[in-house]
């Protein structure tokens, strides 16, 4: 195969953390700036690359995603992040909410590069939620605002992550939302809560090992299975199925940057061929709110996304080398493991970073660090392709990327497979009578278990949500309940 000069390639990656940024209270702009400088240096042609930048795309911070810590945010985040790294661009993009956005932004900009619409782009992310939490605890006020009147492409969609019905019935956090998915998978496998706890602990212990090798991992520690099974004050319960170290840890101080251009432009700038990492496969999918999905036990959108990306690249799952699966909650990893179906791959080989629980969960930006890890691993061992998944919402938005260290056997065309058509069901707005629990979630705070949110199949066959106050401390999966409708939220009691 000849040299594909128009093919999009990653030529530089950079990471930063509180360990590499000076000062007691690092701001996101400082973390972003340091990451950009590291990424520029990683290209081997920092000055030439910096002068050629056409686009700066910033991953939306949690402060601007409805999860405010009261610190404020720059008026123009991509401009501020770029300035901190000593770069500027005529075109500035502020990405949409969701953990899929880093990989989706790679797809978008790589497509523009393939079509000759963009020459060179920088994607950058940063979060300092760890600093914000420390400051709040210490009574220190932080002000991260920066004024700007520069126009930019500010993307903020209204795509629903949680439905109004789910929120009314108590699903008000990601741990609760994912508890519905996790319990549905557990019940589908026929596992008890105790057996599934061990199942999750085996995954967590395997992933924790990978965090030890990452310089910027925020919570690197080797946990054994027994560490993650036994009662422990530092591993306190969050819901009936999750404890602290099973979920994404957001108290991070992290910055990440990725530099994209065409292979031909990279050579023009003097970037060495062995720096180039090629995009070989891509896909994106979207799902309706979880309670409205026809299949509750397995995310069909991820099935489509994984197979579509592999098919586009021309690879089988067994041919993959490095893999990093978005791991906000165990079910996100298990779903990919189930789909890829590679019995030769150990659980610990589904991450390079250690995941969002041990590397850290930096808001919408985790996949930036997956990409950096994939690039570094491919440069070390150029023999096999790499795959990563990026997930937004309640497994609501997926973006999958496949990368190679040399031109892929099938040149990436710029097309992003996205033909997935979700199957959905409507919720009964006034359910009454008896129903069966399909899955459920209930919060635990300071050892006290709250009301259970139930997702039900009514005797009529309709899907419904209900809340059970004072629910017995039993496995509610499959339980028969009596439902009483209400304008605010429907209630349920154990059927007698």
Name the band, by pLDDT with cuts 50, 70 and 90, for residue 387: very high
| Mean pLDDT, residues 66-82 taken together | 96
Is the pLDDT score of 354 beyond 70?
yes
What is the rounded average pLDDT for all residues in the chain? 97
Name the band, by pLDDT with cuts 50, 70 and 90, for residue 232: confident
| Mean pLDDT, residues 145-169 taken together | 96
Q: What CA–CA distance (Å, rounded) separates 438 from 159?
A: 25
Q: Which of 39-53, 221-235, 402-416, 423-437 has the lowest mean pLDDT?
A: 221-235
Residue pLDDT, tens place only, 236-286: 999 999 999 999 999 999 999 999 999 999 999 999 999 999 999 999 999
Q: What CA–CA distance (Å, rounded) separates 477 from 439?
A: 6
Residue pLDDT, tens place only, 207-227: 999 999 999 999 999 999 999
Is the pLDDT score of 491 beyond 90?
yes
Is the pLDDT score of 489 beyond 70?
yes
Residues facing 492 on adjacent strands? 483
Decide: helix, strand or coil at residue 198: helix
As a whole-number percent, the residues of the chain with pLDDT over 90 amount to 95
pLDDT at position 1 is 57
Domain spanning 8-160+250-404, CATH architecture: 3-Layer(aba) Sandwich (3.40)
Residue pLDDT, tens place only, 116-133: 999 999 999 999 999 999
pLDDT at position 437 is 98
330-340 and 193-211 helices, crossing angle to 10°: 90
pLDDT at position 370 is 98
pLDDT at position 496 is 80
Name the band, by pLDDT with cuts 50, 70 and 90, for residue 7: very high
Is the pLDDT score of 89 beyond 90?
yes
Nearest CA-CA partner of 275 in 46, 50, 106: 46
Is the overall model pTM greater than 0.95, yes or no? Answer: yes
Name the band, by pLDDT with cuts 50, 70 and 90, for residue 447: confident
Note the residue count of the chain: 496
Instruction: Tell me the chain's radius of gyration from C-alpha atoms.
Output: 23
Nearest CA-CA partner of 131 in 123, 120, 142: 142
Strand runs (DSSP E) across 233-354, as ranges? 253-262, 277-286, 323-324
Indicate the domain borders of the chain.
8-160+250-404, 166-246, 433-494
Structural class in CATH, domain 433-494: mainly beta
Which helix (DSSP H) or strand (DSSP E) does residue 449 occupy?
A: strand 448-449
Residue pLDDT, tens place only, 249-260: 999 999 999 999
Is the pLDDT score of 2 beyond 80?
no
Q: What CA–CA distance (Å, rounded) separates 336 from 342?
A: 10
Q: What CA–CA distance (Å, rounded) separates 378 from 280?
A: 13
Residues with Cβ within 8 Å of residue 337, at least 6 apart in sequence: 325, 345, 347, 350
Is the pLDDT score of 234 beyond 90?
no
Nearest CA-CA partner of 494 in 437, 438, 450: 437
| Mean pLDDT, residues 427-437 taken together | 97
Q: What CA–CA distance (Å, rounded) separates 96 from 61?
A: 10
Burial class of 124 by CB neighbour count within 10 A (0 to 12, 13 to 18, 19+):
buried
């Amino acid at each position: 195969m000849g040299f594909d000069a128009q093919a999009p390639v990653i030529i530089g990656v950079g990471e930063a953390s509180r360990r590499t940024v000076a000062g007691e209270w690092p701001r996101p702009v400082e973390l972003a700036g340091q990451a950009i400088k590291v990424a520029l240096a990683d290209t081997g042609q920092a000055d030439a690359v910096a002068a050629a930048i056409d686009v700066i795309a910033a991953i939306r911070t949690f402060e601007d995603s409805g999860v405010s810590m009261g610190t404020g945010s720059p008026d123009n985040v991509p401009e501020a992040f770029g300035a901190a790294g000593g770069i500027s661009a005529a075109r500035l993009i502020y990405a949409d909410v969701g953990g899929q956005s880093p990989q989706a932004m790679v797809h978008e900009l790589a497509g523009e590069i393939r079509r000759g619409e963009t020459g060179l782009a920088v994607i950058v992310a940063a979060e300092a939620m760890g600093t914000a939490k420390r400051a709040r605890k210490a009574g220190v006020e932080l002000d991260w605002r920066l004024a700007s009147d520069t126009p930019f492409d500010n993307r903020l969609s209204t795509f629903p992550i949680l439905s109004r019905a789910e929120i009314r019935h108590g699903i008000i956090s990601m741990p609760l939302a994912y508890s519905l998915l996790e319990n549905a998978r557990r019940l589908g496998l026929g596992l008890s809560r105790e057996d599934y706890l061990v199942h999750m602990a085996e995954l967590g212990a395997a992933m924790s090992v990978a965090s030890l090798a990452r310089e910027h991992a925020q919570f690197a520690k080797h946990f054994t299975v027994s560490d993650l099974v036994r009662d422990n004050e530092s591993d306190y319960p969050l819901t009936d199925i999750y404890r602290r170290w099973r979920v994404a840890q957001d108290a991070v101080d992290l910055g990440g940057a990725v530099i994209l251009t065409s292979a031909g432009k990279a050579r023009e700038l003097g970037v060495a061929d062995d720096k180039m990492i090629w995009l070989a496969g891509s896909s994106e999918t979207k799902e309706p709110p979880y309670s409205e999905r026809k299949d509750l036990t397995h995310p069909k959108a991820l099935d489509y996304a994984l197979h579509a990306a592999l098919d586009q690249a021309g690879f089988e799952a067994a041919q993959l080398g490095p893999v990093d699966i978005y791991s906000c909650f165990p079910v996100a990893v298990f779903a990919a493991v189930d789909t890829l179906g590679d019995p030769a791959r150990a659980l610990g080989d589904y991450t390079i970073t250690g995941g969002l629980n041990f590397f850290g969960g930096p808001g919408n930006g985790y996949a930036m660090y997956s990409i950096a890890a994939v690039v570094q691993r491919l440069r070390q061992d150029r023999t096999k392709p790499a795959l990563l998944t990026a997930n937004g919402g309640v497994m609501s938005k997926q973006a999958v990327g496949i990368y190679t260290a040399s031109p892929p056997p099938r040149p990436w065309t710029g097309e992003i497979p996205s033909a997935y058509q979700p199957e959905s069901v409507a919720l009964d707005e006034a359910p009454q009578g008896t129903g069966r629990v399909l899955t459920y979630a209930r919060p635990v705070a300071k050892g006290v278990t709250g009301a259970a949110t139930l997702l039900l199949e009514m005797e009529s066959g309709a899907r419904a949500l209900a809340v059970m106050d004072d629910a017995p401390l039993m496995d509610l999966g499959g339980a028969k309940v009596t439902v009483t409708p209400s304008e605010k939220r429907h209630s349920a009691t154990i059927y007698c």
